[in-house]
Amino acid sequence: MRALRKTGPGPGLELVEIPEPEPGPDEVKVRVLRAGLCGTDLHLHDWDEWAAATVTTPMTLGHEFFGEIAAVGSDVTHLKVGQKVSGEGHIVCGVCRNCRAGRRHLCINTVGVGVHRDGAFADHVVIPATNAWVQPDDIDPDLGALFDPFGNATHTALSFPIAGEDVVITGAGPIGVMATAITRHVGARFVVVTDVQDFRLDLARAAGADLAINPTRTSLRDAMAELGMREGFDIGLEMSGAPAAVTSMLDTMNHGGRVALLGLPHASYDVDWGRVITHMLTIKGIYGREMFDTWYAMSSMLQTSQPLRDALGSVITHRVPAERWQDAFAAVRSGHCGKVIMDWS
């Protein structure tokens, strides 16, 4: 089968032929139909310091995917060949304290598909049966491939009650845009999105942002004045990993405001902890998805809202055949894109 692999240490990837994997007793083999690119894949392609310390080669990349079950292991009874599934890319141990307490997203032994074991940039991928999320037969394959990043957005956006609240989202990458659509769906009053890429601000507006601003030209306080806000934002969703964005967000939070941080910074940075304390702000770190509460929330929201499905679909700006994987990576690097999907069908 075809597989896009890191064949050895160092920058670059190769599309090569390798044997098809076979599922173990408690696993399923999925025929991949669509796979999405993530910033993690760029780090692995470039072989930065984190990648070199994390990945053992050879390794097939890819952890955002949708496909069809092609085979099930001997102990798998709740799934069958032909079902459409998305994959949860975090594989947990099941025996650490958090796993046994039902907090699997906090597993200290998490293994990443496409990072620590072969992933979904291939014709087939094998995952534990418990990591396969069954989708409706008529789901758009492109939307099915979004469930990993859509889950990140859902986990972040729903960390705090947002109905009727004023929300600021820093970072209009694909996950920030999806979070915009979620906050609009759930019923936030005002949603303001910031990014330094005007292309991505247009995506945020299409997803339901009341204002989408470039902070190099318009400040968050200017946005508050335009919307008639006097007291500050109630909820902050940080998707950029940019220190300046975090600073401006914290500077405009209302007393008692709540902030969820998903964006990973490249290095540590200063935070005005005096403001956090005196304004009694709550700050919560987010990583991945809650397994599997987030997945139930995603499916339920999509089943009940055509506007939300449309907004999610609008995040996808590039659809590329797997053979042209270099074009897919180039699109992500350009910054002039939303979500980039590779077609493996």
- Can you tell me the distance from the alpha carbon of 328 to that of 321, in angstroms, rounded to the nearest whole number? 9
Contact between 205 and 238 under an 8 Å Cβ cutoff? The reply is no
Q: Is 2 helix (H, G, I), strand (E, B) or coil?
A: strand
| One domain for residues 139 and 159 | no
Q: What is the mean pLDDT of residues 37-55?
A: 94
Whether 266 is catalytic is no
Number of structural domains in the chain: 2
Decide if 126 contacts 28 (C-beta within 8 A).
yes
161: in domain? yes
H runs (alpha helix) in the chain: 39-46, 49-54, 97-100, 141-144, 147-157, 174-186, 198-206, 220-227, 243-251, 273-278, 293-304, 306-314, 325-334
195-214 mean pLDDT:
96
Domain CATH number, residue 83: 3.90.180.10
pLDDT band at 59 (very low <50, low <70, confident <90, very high): very high
Given a cut of 90, whether residue 153 has pLDDT beyond it is yes
40 is catalytic: yes
Confidence of residue 22 (pLDDT cuts 50, 70, 90): very high
Domain of residue 118, residue span: 2-146+315-343
Number of H helices, E strands in the chain: 13, 18
Across residues 241-248, what is the average pLDDT? 96
Cβ atoms of residues 165 and 234 within 8 Å = yes
Q: How far apart are CA 150 and CA 299, in angstroms?
A: 10
pTM of the model: 0.95
- Catalytic-role residue among 43, 116, 279, 282: 43
Q: For residue 17, what are its two tokens?
A: 């032929």
Residue 296 lies in a domain: no
State residue 335's pLDDT score: 82
**CATH number, domain containing residue 186:** 3.40.50.720
- Domain end: 285, 305, 329, which one? 285
Give SS3 for 193: strand
